[in-house]
């Protein structure tokens, strides 16, 4: 019996013909777990085997073979007993009558939390597959915050599913493979678990692009054959040189895996023969001091390539990876990548955060890696409060890819950011408040635009101002999920405040014909209205009114309990005054470009608030089919800000005329937002989009352009 084999302790475990690899698993676990842990694992196996009895996988194998295979993957990472039990039990909640209470009673809260964390959300219903995937992913990350082992079990589960994916329909294979490449392999990389990351990437690549995989594999196999002997000679030369200098080291040849080569070929638009570091040497030494000594020896043996040295020991990657990387000109000028690291660094490079749970493993490197993972998760949890499920998943995808840029704060602290990160990303990485209030940036003491991409080694200083607020355009160029979500969250809150203020004004205006003041509304009548509308407070109602989701005249009628003639009341309504400072809840139509001085009318658009049109706008005929959504509006006497307007200039086609027209516009102190030129035979039509304060300024611009020789006609555009 298997149990008897455990009590014999370190003797090989006796295997039954039908144990589906469980005996092999126990043998592997016996190498690093105490006997009492093995007994608990046998109990978990027996519980899972009984629960899954009679169930088969698509491939025809008994279902229990899958949890055992997942546990074997985790045993390969030397994970603790709790993780192994959770791996054996991870599908019982989803696929069997077993309950979470049962698992908690039999195996404790620790294991129950892990099992629950990796279980799918079958009991919930979603509007779309994307939403279901995103919500499931959000739940998994929340569980990860409580216990990082949740994701390790999930990654092992996905790895075995990818190994056996051939039994599924082709379309499902492609969907799972794409999800693996977009989410699970990058998570394994972000947590530093290189062994799982490589396998997930290659299996995903093979499933998603089988033809490309076969072609690349054949080409690489041929390349291996020609490189094997030279690589062995290089290894021997390194071994001899290290021994001669009294350095104990392990030297091994290494080659990049297929998917990383494929991505590099894509990124560089290069042929396989142009990818320089397909093959390389890894040198593992006892301590950090030896790493730098070996680097010196390597540069004496072969000349280093300029710009190809990276010190990930002094500045580790964001996932905790540490190593020295250098690329050398090998024999016959063939590029050779060399990685130099300690034993501990090598373990962390292969197992990442999983190294933290190795039996009796308490070294500083694994601790550092786990701390980095927890910091990353804490950042994700910050994001998830300000985004829906799909926005959150998109943000996580952005945040998963490895950091490439290392910059310094003015105090000399290192900040790690993704390639393409800008000064705004840096500001939000320092603190959300710094990002929200930033107005300018200095890179190496020189003022630069906020959208300037950062480079390695630069010192970045952010200049802030009280009262500054994020610019909505920042979302278009920021590279980090934290910055993008912080900007969106701020703008959502800002828009909510503006919408509430506008909604209050709209309702106050709509109540005037009833001779009712908002301040004097009886509390009982307000409470009755909120109850009828299913709202918690007047703030929510104002917000909905401001965003156009409810109509102020309708709500006013409900409050006044009026049953008279709505048309007559509509005629009594005073126009709403537009000041130009309403923010995001008042927009100006791009079909007619209204500016102060124009006669205007407002249209209540659901989710956009009020859209202002000129009364001469051609689209009004369409909108008048919904008269209840139109509201009278006027410009205030002192309108603030600049407004877009369009002009069309028809000219004779001659050299330099565009520059002359633009010069006349600039002379009136008017900014040009956009220009387009259309040529029609021997004449041209110049279309300018300008920023003006009012009709007076626009009229001044039109008059100045008409004085230019060659200008045939100048008119105001209609959008």
Annotated active-site positions, please? 94-95
Residues in the chain: 719
Cα separation, 85 vs 683, whole angstroms: 80
Output the CA angle 596-578-607, nearest 5 degrees.
115
Largest CA distance in the chain: 105
Burial 517-533 (b: 16+ CB within 10 A, else e): eeeebeeeeeeebeeee
CA dihedral 133, 138, 142, 144 (to 10 degrees): 50
Structure tokens at 563: 């049953």
DSSP 43-75: HHHHHHHHHTTT-B-TTSSBTTHHHHHHHHHHH
Q: What is the chain's percent helix, strand, coil content, to nearest 5?
A: 55, 15, 30
Q: What Å distances lie between residue 431 and 398, 413, 423, 424, 425, CA to CA?
A: 19, 14, 13, 11, 10
Residue 39: half-sphere exposure toward Cβ, Cα within 13 Å? 7
Pair 165, 203: CB distance under 8 Å: yes
Pair 469, 436: CB distance under 8 Å: yes
For 449, other C-beta atoms within 10 Å of its C-beta total 11
Those residues whose C-beta lies under 8 Å from the C-beta of residue 97, and which sit 6 or more positions away, are 51
Q: How far apart are the first and last CA of the chain?
A: 83
Structure tokens at 87: 């791996």
Pair 190, 245: CB distance under 8 Å: no
Structure tokens at 632: 């009278």
Cα separation, 255 vs 337, whole angstroms: 10
Output the CA angle 7-8-14, nearest 5 degrees.
100
For 233, other C-beta atoms within 10 Å of its C-beta total 12
Burial 238-266 (b: 16+ CB within 10 A, else e): beebbeeeebebebeeebbbbbbbbebbe
Orientation angle between helical segments 389-400 and 481-511, nearest 10 degrees: 150
Pair 439, 463: CB distance under 8 Å: yes
CA dihedral 38, 41, 45, 47 (to 10 degrees): 120
Query: DSSP 3-state assignment of 405?
Result: strand
Those residues whose C-beta lies under 8 Å from the C-beta of residue 685, and which sit 6 or more positions away, are 648, 649, 650, 651, 677, 678
The H or E element containing residue 297 is: helix 288-301
């Amino acid at each position: 019996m298997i149990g008897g084999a455990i009590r014999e302790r370190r003797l090989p475990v006796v295997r039954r013909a039908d144990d589906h690899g469980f005996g092999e698993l126990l043998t592997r676990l016996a190498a690093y777990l105490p006997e009492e842990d093995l007994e608990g694992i046998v109990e978990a196996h027996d519980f899972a085997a009984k629960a899954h009895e009679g169930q088969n996988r698509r491939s025809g194998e008994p279902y229990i073979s899958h949890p055992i295979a997942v546990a074997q993957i985790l045993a390969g990472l030397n994970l603790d007993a709790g993780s192994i039990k959770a791996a054996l039990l991870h599908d019982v909640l989803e696929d069997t009558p077993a309950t979470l209470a049962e698992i908690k009673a039999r195996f404790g809260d620790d294991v129950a939390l892990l099992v629950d964390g990796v279980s799918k959300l079958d009991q919930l219903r979603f509007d779309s597959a994307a939403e279901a995937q995103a919500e499931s992913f959000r739940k998994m990350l929340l569980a990860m915050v409580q216990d990082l082992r949740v994701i390790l079990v999930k990654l092992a589960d996905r790895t075995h599913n990818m190994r056996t994916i051939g039994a599924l329909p082709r379309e499902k294979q492609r969907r799972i493979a794409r999800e693996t490449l977009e989410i699970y392999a990058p998570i394994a990389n972000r947590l530093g678990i290189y062994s799982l990351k490589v396998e997930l990437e290659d299996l995903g690549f093979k499933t998603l692009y089988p033809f490309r995989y076969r072609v690349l594999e054949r080409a690489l196999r041929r390349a291996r054959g020609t490189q094997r002997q030279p690589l062995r000679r290089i290894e021997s030369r390194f071994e001899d040189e290290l021994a001669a200098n009294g350095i104990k080291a392990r030297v091994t040849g290494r080659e990049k895996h297929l998917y990383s080569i494929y991505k590099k070929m894509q990124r560089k638009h290069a042929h396989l023969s142009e990818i320089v570091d397909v093959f390389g040497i890894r040198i593992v030494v006892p301590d950090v001091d030896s790493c730098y000594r070996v680097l010196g020896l390597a540069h004496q043996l072969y000349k280093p390539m300029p710009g190809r040295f990276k010190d990930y020991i002094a500045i580790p990657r964001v996932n905790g990876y540490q190593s020295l990387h250098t690329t050398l000109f090998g024999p016959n000028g063939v590029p050779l990548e060399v990685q130099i690291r300690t034993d501990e660094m090598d373990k962390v490079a292969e197992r990442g955060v999983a190294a933290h749970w190795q039996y009796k493993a308490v070294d500083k490197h694994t601790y550092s890696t786990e701390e980095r993972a927890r910091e990353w998760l804490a950042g994700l949890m910050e994001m998830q409060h300000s985004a829906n499920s799909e926005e959150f998943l998109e943000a996580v995808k952005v945040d998963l890819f490895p950091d490439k840029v290392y910059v310094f704060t003015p105090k000399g602290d290192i900040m790690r950011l993704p390639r393409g990160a800008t000064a705004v990303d840096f500001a939000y990485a320092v603190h959300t408040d710094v990002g929200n209030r930033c107005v300018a940036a200095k890179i190496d003491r020189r003022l630069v635009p906020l959208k300037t991409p950062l480079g390695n080694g630069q010192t970045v200083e952010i200049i802030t101002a009280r009262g500054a607020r994020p610019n909505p355009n920042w979302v278009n160029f920021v590279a980090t999920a934290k910055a993008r979500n912080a900007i969106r969250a701020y703008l959502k809150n800002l828009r909510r405040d503006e919408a509430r203020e506008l909604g209050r004004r709209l309702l106050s205006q709509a109540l005037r014909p009833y001779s009712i003041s908002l301040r004097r509304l009886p509390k009982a009548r307000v409470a009755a209205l909120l109850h009828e509308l299913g709202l918690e407070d007047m703030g929510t109602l104002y917000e909905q009114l401001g965003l156009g989701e409810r109509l102020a005249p309708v709500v006013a009628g409900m409050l006044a309990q009026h049953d008279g003639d709505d048309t007559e009341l509509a005629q009594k309504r005073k126009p709403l005054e537009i000041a130009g400072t309403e923010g995001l809840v008042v927009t100006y139509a791009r079909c007619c470009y209204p500016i102060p001085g124009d006669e205007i009318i407002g249209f209540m658009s659901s989710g956009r608030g009020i859209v202002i049109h000129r009364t001469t706008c051609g689209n009004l005929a369409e909108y008048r089919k919904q008269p209840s959504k139109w509201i009278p509006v006027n410009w205030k006497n002192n309108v603030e800000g600049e407004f877009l307007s369009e002009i069309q200039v028809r000219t004779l086609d001659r050299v330099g005329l565009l520059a002359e027209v633009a010069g006349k516009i600039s002379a009136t102190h008017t900014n040009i937002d956009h220009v387009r030129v259309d040529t029609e035979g021997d004449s041209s039509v110049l279309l300018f989009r300008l920023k003006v304060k009012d009709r007076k300024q626009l009229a001044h611009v039109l008059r100045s352009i008409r004085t230019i020789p060659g200008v045939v006609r100048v008119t105001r555009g209609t959008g």
